[in-house]
Amino acid sequence: MTLQQAIIHFSDADNCIKYMVDLRWPDGVVVCPTCGRNDVSWLSNQRKWQCKSNHAKRQFSAKVGTIFEDSPLGLDKWILASWMIANCKNGVSSYEIARNIGVTQKSAWFMLHRMRLVMDTTETDAKLGGSEGGPVEVDEAFVGGEPKNWHNSKRIAHHKAVRSERVRTYQNAFTHKTAVIGMLDRESRQIRAKVVPNVRRETLQNEILDIIEFGSKVYTDQAVTYKSLKDKYVHDTVNHANQYVNGQVHTNSIENFWSLMKRNLKGTYVAVEPFHLDRYLAEQCFRFNTSRTHNDETRCAKLFSQVLGKRLTYAELTGKEAGASF
Ligand SMILES: [Zn+2]
């Protein structure tokens, strides 16, 4: 299916519900999310189910218990937005989403952040490397900061607006850049990336220990922060000053990932809090990790299979109340 075909297919509300039912209840038996009864009745005029037991939230839609639960937007819009974010190689802006599915830019921005949260599988991701995996490239990068040519008054305004407490926790006090660490298993083509509060040896090593199996081959540059990896891994380094590629020992793949990420953020990240960066990274990782194993249709389905049990409110996202519902 192409995006065009998807738009036609999902303009039918029943197709949307069927899509959701197939993913949530693959055996076709719809289960009450409150009590677990599996003999619920379908109320066709409301496009909802009703549980036969008498309890609160007896009636439920296909969105209940998912990231879409408290959204007034229809499943058709959610499916199309998800299709776009899952499959647009270079990312998609809230303006493009807004134009294509007919919502406000603010709604689209909120949708994008919710889907990015859905893309985040940090909690359940398998470790990299190990006996099955290949060598794992590890590298850190710095994202954001403020344009050098900003006038002082703009700088001060920016700091007032953006550098809240939670921002200061992550940004470097002098450059205002946010540090991220990335690890890429060259055999399985799986990548993990996350925001770190600093690039001190202990911080980076704890992340590495968390994500890479003991005994794996690990390639890094020669930064001192990676010096004691030899205890747990087969560690090789590349010296960027003298040589770019030392046979198999290089970190080119993860560096390519960083440049793609920076291009996709298109400099707009300047105005975005580091608080959101983990979700942007989750988006980039999701597309990278599914690029060889999925097509547009299965990639969108994979994204949809991750919507259960997740929640992100506007207040959590922005630190302020939503005002009008959207
Ligand atoms: Zn029930």
The model's pLDDT over 67-84, given as tens digits with 9 standing for 90+, comes to: 999 899 999 999 999 999
Q: What percent of the chain has pLDDT over 70?
A: 84
The pLDDT assigned to 221 comes to 87
Output the CA 39–ligand 1 centroid distance in Å. Answer: 9
Query: Does the structure show a pLDDT above 90 at 208?
Result: yes
The candidate with the shortest Cα–Cα distance to 179, out of 142, 208, 234, 230, is 142
Q: Is the pLDDT of residue 311 over 90?
A: no
Phi and psi at 148, nearest 5°, equal: -65, -30
What is the Å distance from ligand 1's center to 30 Cα?
Answer: 11
Say if residue 142 is in the same domain as residue 252: yes
Q: Per-residue pLDDT averaged across 129-142, rounded?
A: 87
CA of 46 to the centre of ligand 1 (A): 17
Residue with tokens 């926790």: 169
CA of 294 to the centre of ligand 1 (A): 36
Structural contact between residues 214 and 190, judged by C-beta atoms closer than 8 angstroms? no
pLDDT at 261 > cutoff 50: yes
* One domain for residues 146 and 244: yes
Question: 100: closest CA among 67, 78, 72, 68?
Answer: 78
Neighbours of 100 (CB within 10 A): 17
User: What residues have CB less than 8 Å from 128, skipping those under 6 apart?
Assistant: 136, 183, 184, 185, 188, 190, 192, 211, 212, 213, 216
| DSSP secondary structure of 169-203 | HHB-TTT-EEEEEEEEETTTTEEEEEEES---HHH
Q: Do the domain assignments include residue 53? A: no
Does residue 291 belong to any structural domain of this protein? Answer: no
Residues 10 and 116 occupy one common structural domain: yes
> What one-character DSSP code corresponds to residue 270?
G
Q: Is the pLDDT of residue 235 over 90?
A: no
Task: Examine the pLDDT at 237 and tell me if it is beyond 60.
Answer: yes
The pLDDT-based confidence of 139 (bands split at 50, 70, 90) is very high
Count structural domains, the chain: 2
pLDDT bracket for residue 210 (50, 70, 90): very high
Judge whether 250 lies within some domain.
yes
Average pLDDT score over residue span 223-242: 82
Ligand 1: centre distance to CA 61 (Å): 13
152 and 247 in a common domain: yes
Band (168; pLDDT cuts 50, 70, 90)? low
Please tell me which residue, 122 or 153, carries the higher pLDDT value. Answer: 122
User: Does 148 fall in a domain?
Assistant: yes
Tell me what pLDDT residue 273 has: 66
Q: How far is the CA of 15 from the centre of ligand 1 (A)?
A: 24
More confident residue, 94 or 148: 94
Residue 313's pLDDT is 84
The more confident residue out of 164 and 70 is: 70
Q: How far is the CA of 309 from the centre of ligand 1 (A)?
A: 17
Report CA(17)–ligand 1 centroid distance (Å): 19
Residue range 30-46: average pLDDT? 94
Residues of the domain holding 112: 3-30+65-121+311-318
Domain annotation covers residue 161: yes
Cα angle 275-176-228, degrees, rounded to a multiple of 5: 85
Q: How far is the CA of 119 from the centre of ligand 1 (A)?
A: 29
Domain assignment of residue 22, yes or no: yes
CA of 41 to the centre of ligand 1 (A): 11
Determine whether 247 is exposed, middle or buried from the number of CB atoms within 10 Å of its CB (0-12, 13-18, 19+).
Answer: exposed
Give residue 324's pLDDT band: very low, low, confident or very high (50, 70, 90): very low
More confident residue, 165 or 309: 309
Helices (H), the chain: 3-9, 13-24, 75-87, 94-101, 105-119, 152-162, 165-170, 201-211, 252-265, 277-290, 296-304, 314-318
User: For position 157, which CATH number holds?
Assistant: 3.30.420
User: Quick one: 199 and 88 in the same domain?
Assistant: no
- Tokens found for residue 109: 């921005």
Residues 163 and 105 in one domain: no
Whether 147 and 225 map to the same domain: the answer is yes
Check whether residue 111 and residue 164 sit in a common domain.
no
**Residue 90 is assigned to a structural domain of this protein:** yes
CA–centroid distance, residue 45 to ligand 1 (Å): 20
The yes-or-no verdict on residue 280 having pLDDT over 50 is yes
The verdict on residue 197 lying in a domain is: yes
Residues 151 and 245 in one domain: yes
Q: Are residues 145 and 266 in the same domain?
A: yes
Q: How far is the CA of 24 from the centre of ligand 1 (A)?
A: 16
Residue 214 has pLDDT above 60, yes or no: yes
Number of other CB atoms surrounding residue 244 within 10 Å: 9
pLDDT of residue 245: 63
Report CA(38)–ligand 1 centroid distance (Å): 8
Residues with CB under 5 A from ligand 1 (ion): 32, 34-35, 37, 51, 53
Q: Measure 64 CA to ligand 1 centroid, in angstroms.
A: 12
**Do 95 and 105 form a contact (C-beta atoms < 8 A)?**
yes
Task: Give the distance (Å) from ligand 1 centre to CA of residue 187.
Answer: 46
Q: Which of 239-243, 252-256, 280-284 has the lowest mean pLDDT?
A: 239-243
Q: State percent of the chain over pLDDT 90.
A: 54
Considering the domain architecture, whether residues 190 and 248 belong to the same structural domain is answered as yes
pLDDT above 60: residue 173 = no
Q: What's the CA gap between 277 and 295, in Å, rounded?
A: 26
pLDDT at 326: 40
Give the distance (Å) from ligand 1 centre to CA of residue 227: 57
Tell me, what's the pLDDT at 269? Answer: 44
Whole-number Å distance, alpha carbon 66 to ligand 1 midpoint, is 17
Distance 204 CA to ligand 1 centre (A): 47
3-state secondary structure of 138: strand
- pLDDT band (50, 70, 90) for residue 309: confident
155, 178: one domain:
yes
Cα(14) to centroid(ligand 1), Å: 23
